[in-house]
Amino acid sequence: MTRPDRRKKGLFQMTLFAFILCAVAFWGGCGKKPAVVKRPLPEPEAVRPEPPPAPKLRKVEQWHALVREKSAAPLAEQLAAVNTFFNAFETAEDFYVWGREDYWATLYETLRRGQGDCEDLALAKYFTLLQMNIGDDRMRLTYVKTLDTGTPHMVLTCRLPFLSHPVVLDTKNNDVRPVTDRSDLVPVYSFNADGYWLARQKEEWRGERLGGAEKLSLWLDVLKRMEIDGRDLAWK
């Protein structure tokens, strides 16, 4: 190989070596991307479901709320509230509720079941108003005959201080009206914890006293059981 050829070969090798050095410097040095600090991905935002609706208060708790709210209300407002409260209960005959032909439930039993017949609901209204400090002497549970069906029925009557006639709390009507406005009902007899009386329509549902509460066995039984059930209605 001549000297010029050797010189060309040396230049070529030097050029190739310089190219390799630059390539290494580019890919391994300045061309290298800076290291990225890896951070954990944020937790996805939790999807919060809509809160469930507040559960309905049990009947006993609803009754407690009613008594608390209305105990200091005017008498007419108390009567309307108690009448509407129990009229919202399901009406059912004793045979389907208690498996008996005739049974008078205590207030606690009616609240626990959430249903009853006209007698059960009238009794529940009576005992609730007693809890609101309405005097027993103002109230009478009254058996009547309904003219539209001719069937026996029980309602609660109560005397207001500003009315000369008692008013009727009826499971078939939320309106609390005077007995003089209830020509659809024929009164038969009435009672409370003090005794029982004849009830005559022409005398505005009044009549002579027939005896004490012990004369009505079903009523006397309810009064005795109310003393026991009162513990289940105790304020929490």
Provide the number of structural domains found in the chain. Answer: 1
Give pairs for 143-149: CB < 8 Å, separation 24+. 143/187, 143/188, 143/189, 143/190, 143/199, 144/185, 144/186, 144/187, 144/188, 144/199, 145/185, 145/186, 145/188, 146/184, 146/185, 147/183, 147/184, 147/185, 147/186, 148/184
Please check whether residue 70 lies inside any domain of the structure: yes
In a domain, 115, yes or no: yes
Residue-wise pLDDT for 10-27, tens only, equals 555 555 444 444 443 444
The string of pLDDT tens digits covering residues 92-116 is 999 888 888 899 999 999 999 999 9
pTM comes to 0.75
67 assigned to some structural domain: yes
On whether residue 33 sits in a domain, the answer given is no
| Domain contains 84 | yes
* 13 within domain boundaries: no
Please indicate, yes or no, if residue 162 is contained in any of the structural domains. yes
Lookup result for tokens 């006293």:
209
Question: Do the domain assignments include residue 29?
Answer: no
**What CATH number did the domain enclosing 186 receive?**
3.10.620.30
What is the extent of the structural domain holding 213? 59-229
